[in-house]
Amino acid sequence: MSEEIADADRDLRVLIARTAPSLLALTGVGTETAGQLLVTAGDNPDRLASEASFAHLCAAAPVPASSGRTDRHRLNRGGDRQANRALHTIVLVRMRHDPRTRDYVARRTLEGLRTKDIFRCLKRFVAREVYHHLTNAFSGTPEPSPTA
């Protein structure tokens, strides 16, 4: 069974590299997460009018949850739950291994944000970044390097 999984992963990696090569170059994006995000974007990425619509589709768009004097947001509970899981995985990897993300988390923690709110912000950022890579891949324009 392990050999079959490894073969399927290799085949999937080739297909993803052919469709959206820079998606795999993003920090924290692996074969499974890239595949899920491509499936979420679908065959017709033109239906995604903006990065906000992609974030809403991935259930990573903030929803106001304020009451009284409290001003806060929560994550959207609708959308594609598997795409949301892919974004969650990417954020987890970045929080553990990416120095920029770790610095961001430390800074936002000092500002008084809870881990839940930091996760929400990071998911929205990752959705924005993935959207730009997906639209560039489908439009045929050269994509910026992930280090720029």
Amino acid identity of 82?
A: Q
pLDDT bucket at 73, cuts 50 / 70 / 90: confident
Which phi and psi (to 5°) does residue 67 adopt?
-150, 135
pLDDT beyond 50 at 38 = yes
Mean pLDDT computed over 41-62: 82
pTM of the model: 0.82
* Number of Cβ atoms within 10 Å of the Cβ of 20: 24
141 vs 121: CA distance, rounded Å = 28
